[in-house]
Amino acid sequence: MLKVPDHQVAGHKAIGGKLGPVVDGSGRFYKPLQGDERGSHEVSFYSSFSSNSKIPEHISRFFPKFYGTQLIEASDGSGRQPHLVLQDLNFGRVNPSVMDIKIGSRTWPPEAPEEYVQKCLKKDRKSSSLPLGFRLSGLQIFGSRELGFWKPEKKSWVQSLSSDEVKLLLKKFVSNNASGPLDRKPDCAFASIVYGGSTGILSQLLELKAWFEDQTTYHFYSCSILMMFEKDLISNGKGPRPEIRLIDFAHVVEGKGIIDHNFLGGLCSLIKFISEILTTPEDCATDGLLDDHVQRNHIYYENGST
């Protein structure tokens, strides 16, 4: 039976009669095709990428598996509509902490209509996209089975964070006290095992960076990196399964033999921020800027772990 994804942190959600993605509970994620050329562009990218023998296996693992397209009942009641059928990236995970990060200081593709360019620019100027080369689109941080998830009530607040606030949320993402009192500073307790190590998020980002320094086949505009891990596994003495995945490819265009400096620049910036958290642990639990901002912007706890 199809249902709304439990751990979707950004994008359109299939609630309240709105059109959005659904999952089948067996590992597949159904994303509605956008009615304009963006839907066909995303199908074209997945078809091209999944059949491209030049993509190294260690890179293709960072992308959702593609199972084609399928007509299913749309969540908005409009009848059977075409959907991308993709890998459900959080299938099998228990209470995952998830962060969606849109990469690139420019979020529109070349030759986009001027109206769309101005729409993107307006949003980008209110976010960290221009100064940092990336912005947070959404997140949830698992605290405990009693408290549930820490997450922002308003998507617009996350997207309008300053550079300092972005860094503090990246710290909070790997903190044991994320679900504590709002005036408690992030302790970065899990930074070394989530961000660090040979299989941690930083190592994966560096692996991705090495590919982007060489690949000239695609340019990724308005694409996101999803970061995930499971705090429950740490409590049970296991590794937290930190992983990154790239998502949202409606604005991918041909690279035409040119390096994708827009995506690469944002990726390098994100790597720098995470590296600094790992190399300067003394900076954790010292800044109060985020929590003052939190008090004013409706952060809430969503009870009910899954």
Q: What does the pLDDT look like over 277-301, one tens digit per residue? A: 999 877 786 444 444 444 444 444 5
165 and 276 part of one domain: yes
Shared domain for 72 and 185, answered yes or no, is no
Tens of pLDDT, residue by residue over 90-132, are: 999 999 999 999 999 999 999 899 999 999 999 999 889 999 9
Number of structural domains (the chain) is: 2
Sign of the CA dihedral with 122 first, then 123, 128, and 132 last: negative
pLDDT score, position 180: 56
> Do 79 and 203 fall into the same domain?
no
Better-scored residue on pLDDT, 9 or 246: 246
CA distance linking residue 109 with residue 218, whole number of Å: 12
| Max CA separation in the chain (angstroms) | 55
Contacts of 218 (CB under 8 A, 6+ apart): 45, 49, 252, 253, 254, 255, 260
- In this structure, is the dihedral angle defined by the CA atoms of residues 266, 90, 137 and 107, taken in order, positive or negative? positive
Residue 183's pLDDT is 55
pTM of the entire structure? 0.90
22 — phi, psi (to 5°)? -135, 160
User: Given this model, what pLDDT does residue 14 score?
Assistant: 86
Give CA angle at 32 (27, 37), nearest 5°: 135
- 285 and 149 part of one domain: yes
Which residues form the domain of 33?
22-87
- Residue 9 is assigned to a structural domain of this protein: no
Task: Give yes or no: residues 258 and 156 share one domain.
Answer: yes
Q: Is the same domain home to 68 and 101?
A: no
Is the torsion defined by CA of 127, 130, 132, 134 positive or negative? positive
Same domain, residue pair 103 and 66: no
Average pLDDT over residues 232-244: 92
For residues 275 and 187, state if they share a domain. Answer: yes
In a shared domain, residues 69 and 104? no
Separation CA 113–CA 64 (nearest Å): 29
Say yes or no: 132 and 39 in one domain.
no
Average pLDDT over residues 138-142: 92
Q: Which of 48-57, 65-74, 154-163 shows the lowest mean pLDDT across its residues?
A: 154-163
Quick check: is 201 in a domain? yes
Residue 148 and residue 302 in contact, taking contact as beta carbons nearer than 8 Å: yes
Confidence class for position 163, pLDDT limits 50, 70, 90: confident
State mean pLDDT over 45-59.
Answer: 96
pLDDT at 292: 44
CATH number at residue 205: 3.30.470.160
Edge to edge, the sheet with strand 96-103 lists 243-247, 223-230, 96-103, 134-144, 148-152, 299-302
Q: Are 78 and 141 within one domain?
A: no
Contacts of 82 (CB under 8 A, 6+ apart): 32, 33, 39, 69, 70, 71
